[in-house]
Amino acid sequence: MPPPLRLNAVAFISPQNHPILIRTFQKGDELKYHYVAHTSLDVIEERTNGPAKSNECYLGLLYAMDDIAAYGYITPLKVKIVLALPLTDSVVRDSEVIMTFKALHLAYYHASSNPFLRLYDTPAGVGSSRWKCFRQRVDEISRAIGGTSVPS
């Protein structure tokens, strides 16, 4: 039985490839996950636009580098979600990852359907208080999945 999933970081990236939210659950390594999210875009684009393109939302393992494995997901409206999992020597079941992605997608969906959240707040305004709920929800998902580390 593989150990429960643990999240190192979650990244939401806008259709224009701007970062929406990059949430790190490990202290002191925030920048690294920015890079992970950014480089993941390459693989995501390759999977979605490349010759072997598919219409699946779940893009699977994007790559493994250093000590993390990056998983990708693209919503029908082209918001990309990247998960950074710690690279352990165990099987990561797709179903669990898909479940996590769906929960994250739903969290984003709920947050963006807030009528008091104006659209021009979207890309840059994630740091603002309006998105607090969204951040909390993402943290909750991470906690529920098994990442017990305190978000930084």
- Shortest separation between residue 74's beta carbon and other proteins, angstroms: 12
Task: Tell me: does residue 135 bind other proteins (CB under 8 A).
Answer: no
Rounded CA separation 63/61 (Å): 6
Sort 148 into a burial class: Cβ within 10 Å, 0-12 / 13-18 / 19+.
Answer: exposed
* Choices 74-82, 85-93, 103-111, 135-143 (CB under 8 A): range interacting with other proteins: 85-93
Sign of the dihedral defined by the CA atoms of residues 44, 48, 49, 51, in that order: positive
The amino acid that residue 40 corresponds to is: S
Beta strands 19-24 and 68-74 are unpaired
Beta bridge partners of 19: 13
How many binding residues for other proteins (CB under 8 A)? 55
* Choices 49-57, 74-82, 105-113, 135-143 (CB under 8 A): range interacting with other proteins: 49-57
Residues engaged in binding other proteins (CB under 8 A): 2, 16-19, 22, 30-31, 34-35, 38-39, 41-43, 45-47, 49-52, 54-56, 58-66, 69, 85, 87-97, 118, 120-125, 128
